[in-house]
Structure 1
Amino acid sequence: MLTLICRHFLARSSYYYALTAIALLVMMPTFSFVPEGEHLEQIRQRDFITLHTRNTPTTYYEGRHGPTGFEYELMRRFADRLGVSLNIDASHHPESVLPAVREKGDLGAAALPLLTDTPGIHYTRPIINMQPLVVYRRGLNGITEPSDLVGLSLGTLSGAGTSKALRELQEDYPELSWRESHELEVAELLAQIEDGRFDAAVIFEHQFRINRLFFKNVEHGFPLGDPVSMAWAVPSGRGLGLLKAANRFLEDLQQTGALDQLVARYFGHDDYLEYVGTRTFLTHLDARLPRFTEDFKQAAENTGFDWKLLAAIGYQESHWDPEAVSPTGVRGLMMLTRPTAKEMDIENRRDPAQSIDGGSRYLRSIMDRLPSDITGDDRLFMAMAAYNVGLGHLYDARKIAEMRDGDPDSWADVREALPLLQQREWHSKTRHGYARGGEPVIYVRNIRRYYEMIEYVERSRQQFFQLEQTPVNADPLLMFELIPPLD
Structure 2
Amino acid sequence: MPKALLSHLLRYHRRYLLTSIALLLALIPDRQITHSGTQLEAIRERDFLSVFSRNTPTTYYEGRHGPTGFEYELLHRFANHLDVSLSMETRSDIQGVLDAVLHDRGDLGAAALPLDPSNPDLIYSQPIIRLQPLVVYSRDLPPVTEPEDLIDLDIASIRGSGTSMALRKLQDDYPELTWQEATDVEVADLLGFIEEGRFDAAVIHAHDFKYNRLFFPGVEDGFALGDPLSMSWAFPADRGLALQQEANRFLTMLKRNGTLDDLINRHFGHDDYLEYVGARRFIQHVRELLPDFSELFREAARETGFDWKLLAALGYQESHWDPDATSPTGVRGLMMLTNPTAEEMDVDNRLDPAQSILGGARYLRELEERLPEEIDEPDRLWMALAAYNVGMGHLYDAQEIAEMRDGDPNRWADVREALPLLQNQEWHSKVSHGYARGGEPVVYVRNIRRYYEILNYVDRSQKQFYQRDEQPPEEEDSHIFDTVPPIL
CA distance in 1, matches of 2:138, 2:316: 43
Gaps of 5+ in 1: 1-16, 282-315, 386-408, 412-449
In structure 1, the partner of 2:23 is 21
SS in 1 for 2:230: strand
Contact 1:254 1:260 in 2 (8 A): yes
1:355 aligns with 2:309: yes
CA distance in 2, matches of 1:239, 1:84: 19
| 195-204 or 455-464, which deviates more | 455-464
Residues 477 and 240 of structure 1: CA distance in aligned 2, closer, same or farther (over 3 Å): same
In structure 2, the partner of 1:294 is none
1:462 aligns with 2:463: no
In structure 2, the partner of 1:99 is 99
CA distance in 2, matches of 1:81, 1:361: 38
Residues 43 and 477 of structure 1: CA distance in aligned 2, closer, same or farther (over 3 Å): same
For 2:55, the aligned partner's letter is N
Residues 18 and 382 of structure 1: CA distance in aligned 2, closer, same or farther (over 3 Å): farther
CA distance in 2, matches of 1:151, 1:453: 43
Shift of 1:380: 5.3
1:340 aligns with 2:295: yes
Residues 359 and 185 of structure 1: CA distance in aligned 2, closer, same or farther (over 3 Å): closer
CA distance in 2, matches of 1:376, 1:143: 36
**Cα deviations across residues 404-438 of structure 1 (Å, max 9, x unaligned)?**
xxxxx999xxxxxxxxxxxxxxxxxxxxxxxxxxx
Residues 147 and 80 of structure 1: CA distance in aligned 2, closer, same or farther (over 3 Å): same
Residues 261 and 346 of structure 1: CA distance in aligned 2, closer, same or farther (over 3 Å): closer
**TM-score (ref. length: structure 1):** 0.61
Shift of 1:91: 2.6
Contact 2:135 2:201 in 1 (8 A): yes
1:196 aligns with 2:197: yes
Gaps of 5+ in 2: 1-18, 337-348, 352-387, 399-415, 429-474
Residues 39 and 210 of structure 1: CA distance in aligned 2, closer, same or farther (over 3 Å): same
Shift of 1:383: 3.5
Cα RMSD after superposing both structures:
4.5
Contact 1:378 1:410 in 2 (8 A): no
In structure 2, the partner of 1:151 is 152
For 1:258, the aligned partner's letter is T
In structure 2, the partner of 1:122 is 123
**Cα deviations across residues 323-366 of structure 1 (Å, max 9, x unaligned)?**
x85597579xxx5669627952879xxx99342257779999xx
CA distance in 2, matches of 1:362, 1:191: 30
CA distance in 2, matches of 1:176, 1:336: 60
For 1:21, the aligned partner's letter is L
**TM-score (ref. length: structure 2):** 0.61
SS in 1 for 2:239: coil
Contact 1:55 1:92 in 2 (8 A): yes
Shift of 1:461: 2.0
Contact 2:55 2:90 in 1 (8 A): yes
Residues 166 and 327 of structure 1: CA distance in aligned 2, closer, same or farther (over 3 Å): closer
In structure 2, the partner of 1:211 is 212
CA distance in 1, matches of 2:133, 2:56: 17
Alignment of 1:102-251 (within 5 A): 102-103=102-103, 104-251=105-252
CA distance in 2, matches of 1:89, 1:479: 25
In structure 2, the partner of 1:383 is 334
In structure 2, the partner of 1:81 is 81
CA distance in 2, matches of 1:466, 1:39: 32
For 2:87, the aligned partner's letter is N
For 2:208, the aligned partner's letter is Q
Residues 242 and 201 of structure 1: CA distance in aligned 2, closer, same or farther (over 3 Å): same
Count of residues in Structure 1 that have an aligned counterpart in Structure 2: 349
Contact 1:467 1:476 in 2 (8 A): no
Contact 1:132 1:202 in 2 (8 A): yes
CA distance in 2, matches of 1:74, 1:327: 39
Residues 87 and 175 of structure 1: CA distance in aligned 2, closer, same or farther (over 3 Å): same
Residues 144 and 43 of structure 1: CA distance in aligned 2, closer, same or farther (over 3 Å): same
Residues 242 and 481 of structure 1: CA distance in aligned 2, closer, same or farther (over 3 Å): same
Residues 464 and 171 of structure 1: CA distance in aligned 2, closer, same or farther (over 3 Å): same
Residues 344 and 39 of structure 1: CA distance in aligned 2, closer, same or farther (over 3 Å): same
For 1:355, the aligned partner's letter is K
